Structures are given as C-alpha cells and as structure tokens.
C-alpha cells in the first residue's frame, strides 16, 4: 500500500506534507521523530503544517506517537497499515533510535477488577546491536 492509497482509504486529501510524512516513515521501517522526518523531506513545509498533518494522521489512526524517556517523540505507522501485529519497541540510550521488535509480541496481562485496557505499550531501553558493536570495536 502506498501513501496515496493510505490517504484515500482514510478519506483524507492527498497533500504533499501528508504524503511525505507517510512515505518517509514507510521507507525507514522504524519510528522517526518529527525532526528526522523533516530532515528527510527535501522541500520543507511550514512548522504549523507539520503539526497539523501529524495531528490529522494521528486522528485518522494512520500514525501514532511513541514517547520514550526524555520526552523524545517518535512517530510510527499504525499496525493496520504495516500489517504487523502489536509488538514491543526498543529504545537505544546511545543512538536514541527506536526499533520495532516484531519478534516480541505484546500481550495485555490480566488487570485488577474494574480496569479495562484498550492498548498496551512495551518499551525496552538499553543498547542496540549497532551501538554495542561500536563500543566493543
């Protein structure tokens, strides 16, 4: 599924900013921060437009935020689009990247009486494979 199809399926107009955000995240394969996304878009859009586009894309459940540690915000495509199942995320404290760990599915544990879950997030922090290698090099 390409960005335009995604937008069309969600009844959103096809605009440069929205299209750009989706395709940059798609190409990366991993969650990106707002700045990482902007850096990868050649033509720059207004800051306001970015915020509004993110908001729209989130409201339409196309992307969602992952917030880790220092208020670092990363955006990822929704599982319905990537066709991944719910999975854990790994945050590297060294290079600050976030990776999807598809090998680790997320199960919501049984909750105390009266609580009802809609979503579960698992964030594992530590050192990623690349940084580990660099340190030992």
Cβ proximity to its own copies, 43 vs 109, nearer residue: 109
> Any known ligand binding at 100?
no
> Any known ligand binding at 92?
yes
Q: Would you say 24 and 37 are in contact if contact means Cβ atoms under 8 Å apart?
A: yes
Place of tokens 């599924």: 1
Q: What CA–CA distance (Å, rounded) separates 53 from 41?
A: 14
Q: Is 115 in the site for its own copies (CB under 8 A)?
A: yes
Stretch that binds its own copies, among 7-15, 16-24, 41-49, 85-93 (CB under 8 A): 85-93
Q: What is the spatial order of strands in the sheet that 72-77 belongs to?
A: 32-33, 72-77, 63-68
Q: Would you say 54 and 63 are in contact if contact means Cβ atoms under 8 Å apart?
A: yes
Query: How buried is 112 (Cβ within 10 angstroms: 0-12 exposed, 13-18 middle, 19+ buried)?
Result: exposed
Q: Which does 113 bind (CB under 5 to 8 A by kind): DNA, its own copies, none?
A: its own copies
Q: How far is the CB of 25 from its own copies (least distance, A)?
A: 19
Q: Would you say 56 and 22 are in contact if contact means Cβ atoms under 8 Å apart?
A: no
Q: Which does 41 bind (CB under 5 to 8 A by kind): its own copies, DNA, none?
A: none
Q: Is 43 in the site for its own copies (CB under 8 A)?
A: no
User: What's the DSSP call for residue 109?
Assistant: P
The correct pick among 2, 35, 55, 124 for binding its own copies (CB under 8 A) is 124
Q: Would you say 4 and 14 are in contact if contact means Cβ atoms under 8 Å apart?
A: yes
Q: Is 125 in the site for its own copies (CB under 8 A)?
A: yes
Residue set of the binding site: 92, 95, 128, 131
Interface residues with its own copies (CB under 8 A) are 65, 67-71, 73, 88, 90, 93, 101, 103-104, 108-109, 111-130, 132-133
């Amino acid at each position: 599924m390409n960005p335009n199809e995604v937008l069309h399926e969600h009844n959103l107009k096809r605009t440069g900013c929205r299209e750009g955000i989706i395709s940059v995240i798609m190409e990366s394969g991993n969650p990106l921060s707002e700045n990482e996304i902007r850096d990868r878009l050649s033509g720059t859009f207004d800051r306001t437009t970015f915020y509004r586009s993110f908001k729209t894309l989130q409201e339409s459940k196309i992307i969602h935020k992952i917030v880790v540690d220092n208020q670092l915000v990363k955006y990822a495509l929704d599982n319905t689009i990537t066709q991944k199942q719910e999975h854990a995320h790994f945050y590297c404290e060294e290079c600050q990247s976030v990776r999807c760990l598809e090998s680790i599915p997320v199960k919501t544990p049984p909750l105390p009486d009266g609580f009802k879950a809609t979503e579960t997030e698992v964030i594992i922090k530590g050192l990623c494979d690349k940084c580990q290698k660099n340190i030992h090099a």
